Structure 1
Amino acid sequence: MDCRRANPTYLPSRLIDIGKYTFSYPHLALAHELERGTKYATLSHCWGRSGHARLSSSNLSSYRQRLPRSGLSKTFKEALTITRYLGLRYLWIDSLCIIQDSEKDWAKESSEMSRIYSNGSCNIAASSSLDGSEGLFHPRNPLAIRPTKIPLTREDTELGKRYWAVNAQVWQRNVEGAPLNRRGWVCQERLLSPCTLHFGIDQLYWECRTQTCCEFYPTGLPFIVPGVSKTKALFAMIESQLLNNSSDHDKIAVDGYRLWDDIVEKYSRSTLSFDTDKLVAVAGLAAEIYRIVNDQYCAGLWRKNFLSQLLWRVKPQDINKEDQPAALPKTLQYIAPSWSWASVQRPKFST
């Protein structure tokens, strides 16, 4: 229930139709051609420098008939296969569903990101791949994630004498630290999607609004495993309060501002190919926060909580040896006023 789609009737402008059968040719389908409530998956991936196929004004007509399978990256091909295994027929991929040489189409579709990801049934994440050539599946040793049995003999304890040693850094290293999840655009893709299936370097990982799992911990990661973000759970809690028409609007707003602070701190640690995307890449999340706090959005901050959100600073490692603030590296182009966290290229946190 907590991982349901936000609006089951919503559809993106375009989706990849993989067809009813395995021998069908994938092609682009338009929203008005599909039934209301059609389910679809989304893909999160690193573009990298690979020259995979992209939708353009010149090939839109041909892609409506058939996608060039030979031009699809390994990641795209495998994502189509996974979509079918998930029991779905439609998949949304940014570079194949947004006209890449049309500023008008890009502006329109990028403004829909929050709805596209929040209404998908599942987000397929190529978390460990640097670009499309690496695909979703990686060679791996299944014994690498097998727990190690350690016998201990202590006469002065009532505890069992057999213990299991496991990798406590499994989530921090292989999900949070994965190449994909260091990318700025992916921050909102993860948070907005009802659930994400991470294709890791060593195993599969599952992330939804109420649970984080992996092949080694199929029923959920224990609380002692560090690095699991609580941001998605906070998002789910606020959503639940809104759906239940909670009368405590002030508390919901306070939680909303706290959620935004968590989002910005996490997002500011990520990287972007273009500085100009700094605020655009969280616009979908900002739209969701607006729905919670009903406040004016000002270059990454919220008007009613403005003074509190001005109390940000860069991470301690960006302070020089004399304990004086180092000169903050500004973005090369004007992105936001100097009082906004978006104006600097460093991780931030609230004081």
Structure 2
Amino acid sequence: MESDSSMIQSLVCDTCWDTVFSTEGWQTVLAGEQVSGHNGFSSGFSYKTNWSAIQIAAANGCNWCRLLTKPKSRQGGEYEVEVWAACDEDSDCTLGGEKMLRIVVDRSKSPDAPFYCQTRTGAKTVSGYGSHNQYYMYTSQDILLNSAFRRFVAARERITDVSSPESYQLALECLNHCIRTHHGCPPPQADVFLPDRVIDCFNPRKPKIVLTGGKHQGHYVTLSYVWGGPQPLTTTQNIDNYVNEGMDMSNFPQTIQDADSMKDKERQLGQMRYIYRNAFLTINVACASSSQEGFLARDRPQRYSNARIPYRCPDGKVGSVWIAKAHDFDPDNNRSYWEELEPAAYRGWCLQEKMLPPRSLVYASDTLKFHCQTETANIGHALCEPSTGRRLPGIIYQPRGPGGSDTPLSKEEQVAYRQAWLAVLFMYTVREISVPSDKLIALAGVAEQFHLVYHDEYLAGLWRRTLLLDLLWATQVATRRHPRPEKYRAPSWSWASINGIVGTKYLEATLGSMPSIRQAEILDCRVTLASEEAPFGEVREGILKLKGFKQEVALQSDTVGAVHLAKPGTYRHRIYGS
């Protein structure tokens, strides 16, 4: 709790201090309750003032009045405005249950009236011109707060030094909290077999490779990162040297890597799901575009705050909080965090390395995050806006059949399963694969995880049970035409045969309303695997035989460059283009 109340009072003008930031006024703000089915509240604090008075106070340094004048009015004036403020819990933001401050300025009497908003205060509805903004509230990591204040505002600013001992301790707290309290996350298993090769880091300066032969049990940590080109150190024919003598850390890039011989690679690729799914923890280096960059000693910006304002506790004690605009679409990391803009979000291999692990420490471009199947949280109780990345539904991690649940999927779970796979397909094809032959391999672990739920046959990226629907994949509207790769990697009827973003809008529920699909019958479909040890990986060839009706269509181009298959008066199907 800051002891200098006069300094805190100086954050706002006398009018604001005596109204909205009085003990009674601020408690009324905090007591706001959302109205069900309405973008408004049943309570909150409101007051009327003059617009010119707000502008004068803002010019004189009142942080609250500055907020009210944004966006700026094109005209001044002596007209009356009504200001309303309330807080409610934001269930999408972590820490869970944190308060979001909503501010409405009703300027319906303004001569310019540039904005329109509608909300509810008390028993009446405020419907008119004005602004409606939402803000996250948080405090500094360094501020001295008593226990009473911590109960009301738990969220902190970002921790930007992610390599300090304190950061490691905070990350460990997140990990232990997940293991103890998250019932939706699987507990670590002590009886899992270690991967065939692990690195013994007992001596961090001279780590050694341990060949387990798949016979040793214990906990292990996996690493996910962007290679970024050829690596300076690999373990192939010289692996015995690293086993006996250890590895000289001066030969390693900033991000540790380990590559295998082709024969061993095929064997290990078949274990990708097991390796990442059973890891005690995964270190996810999301912020680095290559292993040469490193991820610890890099500049990370502190969150941009819109204002610092007083905060009144119920007992009258006063502190201060920072507020930052919610749902800020600015891509700069000092305002908001967008997972899709991280270097790892552009690499195909990193998708399954993100989705399969039960728990990960994510070294992001803004701070260090803890990610699990329940939540994504910034370390140190730092404010963490809703994650923009998709998390797979829990049923995908609940195998059916031998060793799993005997309960069949419900109708709702079947829909969730199908939607999750289509989402994976889209998220994966957005990313790049530097080695064309890895197109199916880099998604094999996720495909195997889906297989464990439905036990369906995987056919070069498509599923036998929904094959007719899966064949309706198409490149997305906004993507350009992509030529077929020179080297074969999948049959032409598979999305894996081309580059570019792929998706489909067709779900099983729509099949009954599409009689034209029912007119087709699959006579035969099979693929030849490149390696029997990787049943969800690379294929050598594929065969598909269909029985159906032929229709005459025309190939048409429009003025914006899109190409369609069309039957005049019946339908038009886009092949590519916008």
Q: TM-score, normalised by structure 1?
A: 0.77
Report the AA paired with residue 214 of structure 1: N
Of 187, 194, 212, 2:358 maps to 194
Alignment partners' CA distance in 2, 1:291 and 1:330: 32
Of 249, 253, 256, 2:417 maps to 256
Seen in structure 2, the aligned counterparts of structure 1 residues 137 and 167 have a Cα distance that, compared at 3 Å, is farther
Alignment partners' CA distance in 1, 2:251 and 2:456: 45
Answering whether residue 520 of structure 2 is matched by residue 339 of structure 1, we say: no
Of 210, 234, 256, 2:374 maps to 210
What residue number does 2:347 align with?
Answer: 183
Answering whether residue 290 of structure 2 is matched by residue 131 of structure 1, we say: yes
What residue number does 2:127 align with?
Answer: none
Seen in structure 2, the aligned counterparts of structure 1 residues 316 and 5 have a Cα distance that, compared at 3 Å, is farther
Corresponding residue SS for 1:123? strand
Of 429, 454, 457, 1:293 maps to 454
What residue number does 1:277 align with?
Answer: 438
Seen in structure 2, the aligned counterparts of structure 1 residues 141 and 128 have a Cα distance that, compared at 3 Å, is closer
Alignment partners' CA distance in 2, 1:175 and 1:289: 24
What do residues 60-97 of structure 1 show as CA deviations (whole Å, max 9, x unaligned)?
A: 11110201211111122xxxxxxxxxxxxxxxxxx52x
Seen in structure 2, the aligned counterparts of structure 1 residues 75 and 149 have a Cα distance that, compared at 3 Å, is same
Of 454, 459, 466, 1:305 maps to 466
Alignment partners' CA distance in 1, 2:295 and 2:281: 15
Seen in structure 2, the aligned counterparts of structure 1 residues 60 and 311 have a Cα distance that, compared at 3 Å, is same
Report which of the two has the higher share of helix. 1
Report the AA paired with residue 323 of structure 2: W
Corresponding residue SS for 2:443? helix
What residue number does 1:47 align with?
Answer: 227
Corresponding residue SS for 1:75? coil
Alignment partners' CA distance in 2, 1:174 and 1:248: 33
What residue number does 1:25 align with?
Answer: 206
Aligned residues: 304
What do residues 261-296 of structure 1 show as CA deviations (whole Å, max 9, x unaligned)?
A: 111110000001111110111111111111111111
Seen in structure 2, the aligned counterparts of structure 1 residues 174 and 217 have a Cα distance that, compared at 3 Å, is farther
What do residues 94-142 of structure 1 show as CA deviations (whole Å, max 9, x unaligned)?
A: x52x52xx32111001111111111111111221112122112143255
Seen in structure 2, the aligned counterparts of structure 1 residues 17 and 107 have a Cα distance that, compared at 3 Å, is same
Seen in structure 2, the aligned counterparts of structure 1 residues 151 and 129 have a Cα distance that, compared at 3 Å, is same
Answering whether residue 193 of structure 2 is matched by residue 10 of structure 1, we say: yes
Give how far 1:148 is off: 3.5
Give how far 1:189 is off: 0.9
Seen in structure 2, the aligned counterparts of structure 1 residues 148 and 202 have a Cα distance that, compared at 3 Å, is same
Report the AA paired with residue 307 of structure 2: K
Seen in structure 2, the aligned counterparts of structure 1 residues 195 and 226 have a Cα distance that, compared at 3 Å, is closer
- Unpaired runs of at least 5, structure 1: 77-94, 153-161, 320-326
Give how far 1:227 is off: 1.7
Report the AA paired with residue 501 of structure 2: P
Alignment partners' CA distance in 2, 1:249 and 1:30: 43
Give how far 1:25 is off: 2.7
From the CA coordinates, give the structure whose radius of gyration is larger. 2
What do residues 175-196 of structure 1 show as CA deviations (whole Å, max 9, x unaligned)?
A: 3221122101111111111122
Higher relative contact order, structure no. (Cα contacts within 8 Å, ≥ 6 residues apart): 1
Corresponding residue SS for 1:114? helix
Alignment partners' CA distance in 2, 1:254 and 1:18: 44
Seen in structure 2, the aligned counterparts of structure 1 residues 295 and 34 have a Cα distance that, compared at 3 Å, is closer
- Percent identical among aligned pairs is 25
Alignment partners' CA distance in 1, 2:449 and 2:297: 35
What residue number does 2:565 align with?
Answer: none
Of 491, 495, 504, 1:350 maps to 504
Of 475, 479, 490, 1:314 maps to 475
Corresponding residue SS for 2:465? helix
Give how far 1:249 is off: 6.0
Give how far 1:30 is off: 1.6
What do residues 320-349 of structure 1 show as CA deviations (whole Å, max 9, x unaligned)?
A: xxxxxxx44222222222222112211112
Alignment partners' CA distance in 2, 1:230 and 1:64: 38
CA RMSD of aligned residues (A): 3.0
Assess if the C-alpha contact under 8 Å between 2:193 and 2:216 holds in 1: no
Assess if the C-alpha contact under 8 Å between 1:252 and 1:292 holds in 2: no
Alignment partners' CA distance in 2, 1:194 and 1:334: 34
Alignment partners' CA distance in 2, 1:338 and 1:73: 39
Answering whether residue 307 of structure 2 is matched by residue 149 of structure 1, we say: yes
What do residues 297-317 of structure 1 show as CA deviations (whole Å, max 9, x unaligned)?
A: 111110111122222222221
Assess if the C-alpha contact under 8 Å between 2:300 and 2:365 holds in 1: no
Seen in structure 2, the aligned counterparts of structure 1 residues 335 and 6 have a Cα distance that, compared at 3 Å, is farther
Give how far 1:202 is off: 2.3
Alignment partners' CA distance in 2, 1:112 and 1:178: 27
Corresponding residue SS for 1:318? coil
Report which of the two has the higher share of strand. 2
- 1:95-110, aligned counterparts within 5 Å? 95-96=257-258, 98-99=259-260, 102-110=261-269
What residue number does 2:429 align with?
Answer: 268
Seen in structure 2, the aligned counterparts of structure 1 residues 104 and 128 have a Cα distance that, compared at 3 Å, is same
Give how far 1:237 is off: 3.4
Seen in structure 2, the aligned counterparts of structure 1 residues 10 and 241 have a Cα distance that, compared at 3 Å, is closer
Give how far 1:226 is off: 6.0
Answering whether residue 252 of structure 2 is matched by residue 72 of structure 1, we say: yes
Report the AA paired with residue 241 of structure 2: S
- Unpaired runs of at least 5, structure 2: 1-182, 311-320, 506-578
What do residues 241-262 of structure 1 show as CA deviations (whole Å, max 9, x unaligned)?
A: 8455434466545433332211
Alignment partners' CA distance in 2, 1:247 and 1:180: 35
Seen in structure 2, the aligned counterparts of structure 1 residues 163 and 127 have a Cα distance that, compared at 3 Å, is closer
Corresponding residue SS for 1:263? helix
Q: TM-score, normalised by structure 2?
A: 0.48
What do residues 179-216 of structure 1 show as CA deviations (whole Å, max 9, x unaligned)?
A: 12210111111111112211122211222111011248
